[in-house]
Structure formats: C-alpha cells, structure tokens
Amino acid sequence: MGVQMMGQTTFYNIQKVYLHLAIEEVYSEKRTELLARVYLEQEDGKRLHLTGDGRCDTPGFSAKYCHYTFMLDDTKEILHAELVQVTEATSSVTMEPLAFKTGMTELMDQGLDVEALKCWWKSITHHVCNEHEWTDENGEQHRCDHAPLTAQEQKKRMWMKKDSMAFQDLSSLVLDKRLLRDMEKMALFKHTGPLEVFHSALLKYLPKRQAFSFQGMRERCHLAILEHNENIVKRKQDTTKTGQARFNQVFCKRSKQWVLKKIFIPHTTQFIDTLIKRVMDKRRSPNIQFTMPTSSLSLPQPALPPNIAPVPKPSKEAATTSFQSRF
C-alpha cells in the first residue's frame, strides 16, 4: 500500500481546523481556572500585582506583531497575553503601548483590580553597549529579549562606549535616583526578569526569523503559556537521594565569582497529551471537516486593517494619471 504525500495546503487546513481549535479550547479552560483562582484571592483581600512586558516578532523597527504578556508577580504564572498586528497601530514602535492598553482594558473589564504593574528600566544601559547578557548587583542574571545578533548585525550598529559622554548622559537619565525612588513607590520596584525568561522560552514556539499568520502567532503563544504555567508552579528544586537540595556551581564573568544556581526537576508536558486527545476527538467528529473555512469555526477572528496608511488607497487609474517620472 503506497504512501500518499499530503499537500502543503491540506496540511495547513488540518492544522487550522483541528489543532488551532484544540489549543484555543485547552488554553481558554486553563485561563478560566486561573482567573477564577485570582478572583477568589481578591475577595479574600489579596492585592493583584502584575509584571508586564512586550515582545516583537522581529528585531529592529520592521516588526509585524507584538505580544504583550502579563505575569502574576507572586506565582510567575502568565495571566494574559495580548497580540497586536502593526496594521492596528500607526507604526511598529507604537504596537507595545497599544497592546498594553488593550490587555489592561480587558483585564479590568473582567473585574480584576490591578494594584501595581511592574517594569524594568535599567536593561537599556547594557543593550546600547552591545552587552546582551549581564548580572545585576544582586547576582541575578539577565539577558535581552531579542534574538542573538550575528557578527554582521553587530558590526552594522553603532554601539555606545561606556566611557563616552553619550552613555554617561543616558545613564544619568535612566538611573536617576529621584526617578528610581518614584518607580519604587509607583511600581514596588521589581524587575521583569522571570518574564524575560518566558520570552526566551517563547522562541521555541515563535522563532523571530520565521513568519506566521495572526492565528498562528496567537496559538503558538498560547502553547508557550500552557507549558510555562504547567511548570512554573509544579516544578520544584531537585533533591538528592538523601533529600538535600541540589545546586550547580557556575562562574559569573561579570562578578568574577563562583555562584550557586538551583537545579530543578525536569519539565513536564502533560498539556500535549490533552491536546492530542482533543485533536483526535475533533478528527473523529462528523461535524468538523478539514476542508471547512476557518471563519466558520469557533475561533476568534479579529478584523485587522489591511495596512497602516492614514489615508485610503486611491484607484490605480488615478495613481497612474498623477504619476510623474523623476527623469
């Protein structure tokens, strides 16, 4: 019996009809459980503190998508992620504030009372000097959210030198003590390190060098959230046979000292088993066929503008008539 190769169009149709629908169902169920727990904690008087940060799909100013992620500050679980396409904003630079505003509006509309949203200002003083991995004064390691830069990309950019006047001026603004004191009062002065770790893990599902559709971007982000939330609470520090906590010694280049890092138990991926079962159930269902258009399914279908132009596109005839050659 011969093996018939599946066409690319057929494969993507199956993915959209079966897999995307299964991911959306499982993600919605897990998010509903998390929201219900947060509601109960708020009724008991617990204040809701979030950490927020944006992540674009490509380096530079040519990004098409921006994910803005909201993380619970105490448990480090992802509470919500908002996806914005550049055509919804005026430019790629304005996608992050738009995604933040849209996500916060949705959380507040759902009845959540956010007391504090925390952010990290200081990483810019490392990035502008072509330093993308560093250790802070507390010995905690950080890294930039963007993909690793090639030698050619690093060569093209004009990096600052730490002994330059421009860098000193920038540092004086970002690290201003009065500003940092205000940030401490306004946002409890906690950084987004764990959220940056999640953004790094997101690269497994959403590599920056590969293009995806809006629906594909959203469902891949939801996959990453399912894996993250499954492990962030259950994944404890590993122990030896005698019950002692396990550590690994690593040398910190910045502090020139050996530091201890916790060794955790391996990741689990139980959500994948749930997804496989959902996909198989949908494949056996006579009501769902892979040839169905995605718009007929129970998936959120955003109405996205075709482009970011502030004026309507003229007809080709009018454009041809008004066209004048530079020569």
Q: What's the DSSP call for residue 52?
A: E
Tokens of 31: 């998010």
For residue 20, how many C-alpha atoms fall within 13 Å in the half-sphere facing its CB?
Answer: 24
Residue-wise pLDDT tens digits, 152-187: 777 877 888 888 888 787 777 777 767 666 555 454
Q: Which two tokens stand for residue 282?
A: 């949908």
pLDDT for 3: 38
pLDDT of residue 5: 46
Buried b (16+ CB within 10 A) or exposed e, 11-45: eebbbbbbbbbbbbbbbeebbeebbeebeeeeeee
| pLDDT digit string, tens, across residues 293-306 | 666 666 776 778 77
When mean pLDDT is compared over 146-155, 233-242, 270-279, 290-299, the highest value belongs to 270-279
Confirm if 105 and 222 have CB atoms less than 8 A apart.
no
Provide mean pLDDT across the span 215-241: 90
How far, in whole angstroms, is CA 139 from its chain's centroid? Answer: 25
Amino acid 1: pLDDT:
34
Q: What is the pLDDT of residue 225?
A: 96
Q: What number is the average pLDDT over the span 44-50?
A: 87
Q: What pLDDT, on a 0 to 100 scale, did the predictor assign at position 4?
A: 45
pLDDT of the residue at 184: 53
Task: Name the residue ranges covered by the structural domains of the chain.
Answer: 11-322
Say which residue, 210 or 61, is predicted with more confidence. 210
What is the share, in percent, of the chain residues with pLDDT greater than 90?
A: 20
Mean pLDDT of the chain: 80
Q: Which residue has the higher pLDDT, 136 or 36?
A: 36
Of all residues in the chain, the percent with pLDDT exceeding 70 is: 79
Global pTM value: 0.70
- Tell me the C-alpha distance between 265 and 276, whole Å: 24
CA 49, CA 116: separation in Å to the nearest integer? 5
C-alpha 323/C-alpha 326 separation (Å) is 10
* Cβ burial 136-147 (10 Å sphere, 16+ → b, else e): beeeeebbbbbe
* pLDDT surpasses 90 at 197: no
Nearest to 115 by CA among 23, 49, 173: 49
